[in-house]
Structure 1
Amino acid sequence: MMLVLILALFGASLAKESYLKAVLRSPKETLKLYDNFKAEQHLAFDRVEDRLRFRLFRKNAEMVADENSVDEETAEFALNFFSTMTESEQISYRGLNVTGHNKNAKPALRSSGEDAAPASKLWTNEGKVTAVENQGRCGSCWTWGAVGGLETRYAEMSGVLRKFAEQEYLDCVYEGSRDGCNGGWPDDCYKYSANNGGRLASSADYAYTQRDGSCQGSRKPDAMIAAKIRGVRKVGSTEKANIEALASGSLSVAFEVTDKFQQYSKGILKDTTCTGRPNHAVTAVGYTEDYVLVKNSWGNTWGDSGYVKFARNHHNCNLWDYSSYPVLASTGASDNGGNDEATNYHADDEDDSGPAPDPDCVDSYSPCYESWCDTDWIVEDYCQKTCGNCGGNDGDCLPGTIRCDDGVCRHEHMC
């Protein structure tokens, strides 16, 4: 069975944090882990390509194991869909073109600033952030950062959460000059809208396609009903200035993606591996005294349900240096279109809607796969949540699981 040999080879006394390292010391078990990963990710390669993908997988697995073994690390890392990608494939999920753009100026010293902002502000918890989506293999992050920087501020002004169209920016901002999937700059989106009557379509009317097409902006309804985009405001390149601006609404922000960032899973990230310039645009959607909450555009299977928590009092790979948001002017009209879907992510909120499983019941290794759940040792020590063992040996089993003959809660087909 999967991983049983590891127990025999390395002993039951292995520390849980060394689990992945133990797997990687066994070529046979590493291959099994790789095969399970491909099944989970629905990947299939021919024989030649499979050798390349396996080498990439093993390299990333080693990095994940190393990072999760650092005692001082406050974030956790896991294998994900980036783990078998080449560098060029990974780059296609970014798209920020920083060429010709300088860091924002530092703000002048003022008596007011961050002290005037609340200690914590999480727009996700106020229903003013839309659901996480995936930009896919189109370097359009600059459109997602720009739209994210708009949505919360429009919701604050209009009282309506509107999902605006990244596709309009992708098609129209650089129409006739270059392919938007090859990169761009968020501020250019706000300038495009300002130069076209302050408009932007909704994603319902102008759906995202993962490719740059011909501009349809003039043919699509304008969803900027209660306010128009009149320009762009740059945020001073300090953490204090960013927090002050973030207290009034979301921000388009930029930073450098690293290998470590790509494998982020959860916790507070304090990345010290960055060396160059920003290459990815995202949306800052809140903060606490400990972290800044950022919404990514890589889907909700990446990171912390699509989000990352960047450590406060840290440079975060240039996170504070290129922030901006749109200048909005009220039209005096009411947006009666109703709210679009809000994110279901609630940072640091406790779900008090009803009985919940033991909060200590989590997978102590990530990722876990259901195919491992026929091994009691794995169920009990590593994959409690995935294998439906949060009920332990006492009390009721979780929904979707039953108590097997050995007393352990599992999915029925695994008894």
Structure 2
Amino acid sequence: MRFRMFRSNAEFVADANEQEGDAVFALNFFSAMTGDEKRQYLGLNVTGHKENDVLLSSPLLKAPAKKLWTNEGSVTEVKNQGGCGSCWTFGAVGGLETRYKQLSGTLRDFAEQEYLDCTYENAGRDGCNGGWPDDGYDYSSKNGGRLASSADYKYAQKDGRCLGSSKPNALVAYKITGYKNVGGTEAANINALASGSLSVAFEVTNYFQQYSGGIIKDTTCSGRPNHAVTAVGYTEKFVLVKNSWGNAWGDQGFVKYARNYHNCGLFKYSSYPVLKRTGKSDTAPADDATSYIPSEDDKPVPTADPDCQDASQYCSAIHCEYADLIEYCRRTCNDCGDDDGGDDDGDCPSGTIRCDDGVCRHEHMC
């Protein structure tokens, strides 16, 4: 059964990579999962929620042409929700971290687990069965504006007993007093993104699950959001989104969505927390920021040697991580050395770097 699903997804990825567009797709941990298993990596419960009003006000500032919070040390490392439908907690925490950093000067890695354990405790609901990011902000505002750090309240991939009152509060310099919804247009989202990260929601499709890099423009959405993530920047070409499926998925855990497109509802449910000064300073050492810096040019760079070709039609950047596969994907992996009449000076595919042995791989594989 697993092999049949894997083979089907291999064909899907190959077909997807032959279509026009700037996105790259690859086999990954979703490639041998059932539909029910894949749904466990979602968790947005849209019941009772409607799209944001188009006319909602946004922060009053002139948005610059580009703002990438990853490049300013204002985004924490990518996390992995695992097989718990807790994406809503990661979207909520992601929408908080950059804004707290801008106000307090300290990047803080906040605890998704507190939201998972505590937000629906009185309602008797399991947070792994889904939730809504703004409900997390409501929990904080009703409990003194607090939220623990991930170091003090570690993520467990399951909903447990609420320990919020027994954990140190990491919202030292500013507290959450509520949240604001962002107008349901791309322009309003860009304007709000210029001042900090956003909790956003959209619909996951098969294309999104098999995404590996580049700028995606998904045309297969049906219209119902099922996943919450964090928008962490934009350029004139794309909106940068941080996912919660670990850094082995996508572009080191991130995805670039095309500008001037609906992007499966990405701009319809955005929000961010309202923060109020406490009068204290956050003097504890800052938490680690992601080292990911997005490429802003995702057009493939042709190899220097036109005679150097892939031996397989299914090659993608992910295959460059495996030494045994590189020889079958020499053009994709930019491994067209002197023995093929080429050179090793070309650029590597998006998401990879040239290792000391001259082969393009993801950085952690060098």
Scaled by the length of structure 1, the TM-score of the pair is 0.76
Identity %: 63
From the two aligned structures, give the one with the greater helix fraction. 1
Amino acid at match of 1:64: V
Deviation track 1:134-180 (CA, whole Å, cap 9, x = no partner) reads 10000000000000000000000000000000000000000141110
Q: Residue 75 of structure 1: which of 13, 23, 48 is its match?
A: 23
Alignment partners' CA distance in 1, 2:57 and 2:87: 32
Other structure's SS at 1:328 match: strand
The question of 1:321 aligning with 2:268 is answered: yes
Cα deviation per residue 1:168-211 (whole Å; 9 max; x = unaligned)? 00000001411100000000000000000000000000000000
Q: What is the CA-CA distance between 1:393 and the residue it aligns to?
A: 6.0
Match of 2:235 among 276, 285, 288: 288
Of 197, 201, 218, which residue of structure 2 is paired with 1:254? 201
Q: Is 1:192 aligned with 2:139?
A: yes
The residue aligned with 1:123 is: 69
- Structure 1: give runs of 5+ residues left out of the alignment: 1-51, 351-357, 403-407, 411-415
Matches within 5 A, 1:372-411: 372-373=325-326, 375=327, 378=328, 380-384=330-334, 401=357
Q: For 1:278 and 1:379, locate their aligned partners in 2 and report how far apart those are by CA, in whole Å.
A: 36
Structure 2: distance between partners of 1:380 and 1:76? 17
Please give the alpha-carbon distance, in whole angstroms, between the structure 2 residues aligned to 1:142 and 1:109. 23
Verify the 8 A CA contact 1:393 1:409 in the aligned structure 2: no
Label 1:297 to 1:184 Cα distance change in 2 as closer, same or farther (>3 A): same
Match of 1:367 in 2: 318
1:158-173 map, 5 Å: 158-173=104-119
Once residues 349 and 290 of structure 1 are traced to their aligned partners in structure 2, the CA distance between those partners, rounded to angstroms, is 8
> 1:392, CA displacement in angstroms?
6.6
- Give TM-score, length-normalised by structure 2: 0.86
AA in 2 matched with 1:372? L
DSSP-derived class of the 1:164 partner: coil
Secondary structure in 2 matching 1:212? coil
Residues 137 and 179 of structure 2 are in contact (CA less than 8 Å); yes or no, is this contact kept in structure 1? yes
- Using a 3 Å threshold, how does the CA distance of structure 1 residues 392 and 342 change in structure 2: closer, same or farther? farther
Alignment-mate amino acid for residue 242 of structure 1? N
Match of 1:105 in 2: 53
Q: Secondary structure at the match of 1:317?
A: helix
Query: What secondary structure does 1:211 align onto?
Result: coil
CA distance 1:386–1:122, change in 2 (3 Å): farther
CA distance in 1 between counterparts of 2:272 and 2:49 reads 16
1:150 is aligned with what amino acid?
L
Question: In the alignment, is residue 336 of structure 1 matched against residue 283 of structure 2?
Answer: yes
Answer whether contact 1:151 1:162 (CA < 8 A) is retained: yes
Does residue 151 of structure 1 match 2:97? yes
Matched letter for residue 173 of structure 1 = T
Are the counterparts in 1 of residues 330 and 336 from structure 2 also a CA contact under 8 Å?
A: no
Instruction: From the CA coordinates, give the structure whose radius of gyration is larger.
Output: 1
Q: 1:317 to 1:379 in 2, by over 3 A?
A: closer
* Equivalent-residue separation in structure 2 for 1:184 and 1:386 (angstroms): 49
Residue matched to 1:5: none
Q: What is the CA deviation profile of residues 357-384 of structure 1, one whole-angstrom value per residue up to 9, with x for unaligned ones?
A: x9969x96343232235x5xx2643444
Residue 179 of structure 1 is matched in structure 2 by 126
**2:5 equivalent to 1:56:** yes
Distance 2:110 2:57 in 1: 35
SS of 1:292's partner is strand
C-alpha distance in 2, partners of 1:194/1:109? 21
2:11 & 2:87 partners in 1: Cα distance? 28
From the superposition, tell whether residues 91 and 343 of structure 1 become closer, same or farther in structure 2 (CA, over 3 Å): same
| Residues paired across the two proteins, number | 338
Q: Which residue of 2 aligns with 1:7?
A: none
Question: d(CA) in 2 for partners of 1:80 and 1:214?
Answer: 33
Gaps of 5+ in 2: 305-309, 346-353, 362-366
What one-letter code is carried by the residue in structure 1 that aligns with 2:10? A
1:263, distance to aligned residue in structure 2 (A): 0.4
1:132 aligns with 2:82: no
Structure 1: distance between partners of 2:117 and 2:360? 51
Shift in alpha-carbon separation, 1:329–1:216, aligned structure 2, 3 A: same
Aligned Cα root-mean-square deviation (Å):
2.9
Match of 1:310 among 247, 252, 257: 257
Cα deviation digits, residues 309-346 of structure 1 (max 9, x gap): 00111100111110000000011211001110100111
